[in-house]
Amino acid sequence: MDSAPLLEARNVTRRFGALVAVDDVSFSIVSGQVFGIAGPNGSGKSTLFNVMTGIPFGPSSGEVLLSGRPIHHLRPHQISRAGVLRTFQKDAEFTTLSAFENVYTSAVYCAGIGSGEARSLAAQALDDVELPPSRRGKAASELSVFERKQLMIASAIAGRPKVLLLDEPAAGLTKPEVAGLSALIRTVRGRGITIVLIEHVLPLLLGVSEHLMVLNYGRIIASGSPRDVVRDPKVVEAYLGSREVVL
């Protein structure tokens, strides 16, 4: 495996007035890795995804690099076409479009390809996530919670990312569904896509991540192998009193 970083953040900071939501964060992600990010609510995880994708804003200072090239000054669509795609914490599908049309739209706009190629890319992505053909013509709003996750992942794959940023994809899922999502994430990885995963559901996060970084108040408080990081006293302390995560 190529060990040069695929995606890198260098001293990335994002301010909102006096609040420093992301504070001097640096890390590098190797191609093919699943890179996990944890941290209490409000610790800056989603803001970090925002600044890495330019959606809706870039960093206040610092650099983001893809394969060694700066991308933080690019427009959001240029960043996605360069190969960095994200999903959102809230459902972001077009509810009145069918599942197929959603994935097709992603192929056209994110991968930037013509309609014929986009159709086959969309069909392949829906096969990859195993959304049954009988469900692909349904409006996205008619899909179950898990089917919408399949749709989210298929739309992401169809955008042909090099790196996919997933923001709490397990939200709203039952335990068996979380296992299904874990299999989906492995499928994405099997397509050669590097994954950055923000997740509160620790069995999922620890089950798929090769590297774990923990944020608190916008700063990195631990980063390394998941086994070591969850035992780090700073991490345990950051989570004390937190309802949603038990380490």
Q: Contact positions toward ligand ADP, by CB under 6 A?
A: 16, 19, 21, 39, 41-47
| Structure tokens, 85 | 């795609």
d(CA 101, CA 139): 9
d(CA 2, CA 147): 34
Site string for Mg ion, 211-240 (x = CB under 5 A): ------------------------------
- From the CB of 24, what's the least distance to ligand ADP, in Å? 15
Binding part of the chain for Mg ion, among 38-46, 92-100, 138-146, 201-209 by CB under 5 A, reads 38-46
Q: Could you tell me which of 166, 159, 193, 167 has the C-alpha nearest to residue 79?
A: 159
Compute how many residues bind Mg ion; rule: CB under 5 A.
2
The entry of Mg ion, ligand ADP, none that residue 4 binds, CB within 5 to 8 Å by partner kind = none
- From the CB of 62, what's the least distance to ligand ADP, in Å? 15
- From the CB of 47, what's the least distance to ligand ADP, in Å? 3
Residue 236: count of CB within 10 angstroms of its CB: 12
The entry of ligand ADP, Mg ion, none that residue 44 binds, CB within 5 to 8 Å by partner kind = ligand ADP
Of 47 and 80, nearer to ligand ADP (C-beta) is 47
- From the CB of 57, what's the least distance to ligand ADP, in Å? 7
Among 33, 46, 102, 216, interactor with Mg ion by CB under 5 A: 46
Backbone angles phi, psi at 167, to 5 degrees: -105, 100
Of 50 and 105, nearer to Mg ion (C-beta) is 50
- From the CB of 35, what's the least distance to ligand ADP, in Å? 16
- From the CB of 146, what's the least distance to ligand ADP, in Å? 23
Of 58 and 121, nearer to ligand ADP (C-beta) is 58
Binding-site ranges for Mg ion (CB under 5 A): 45-46
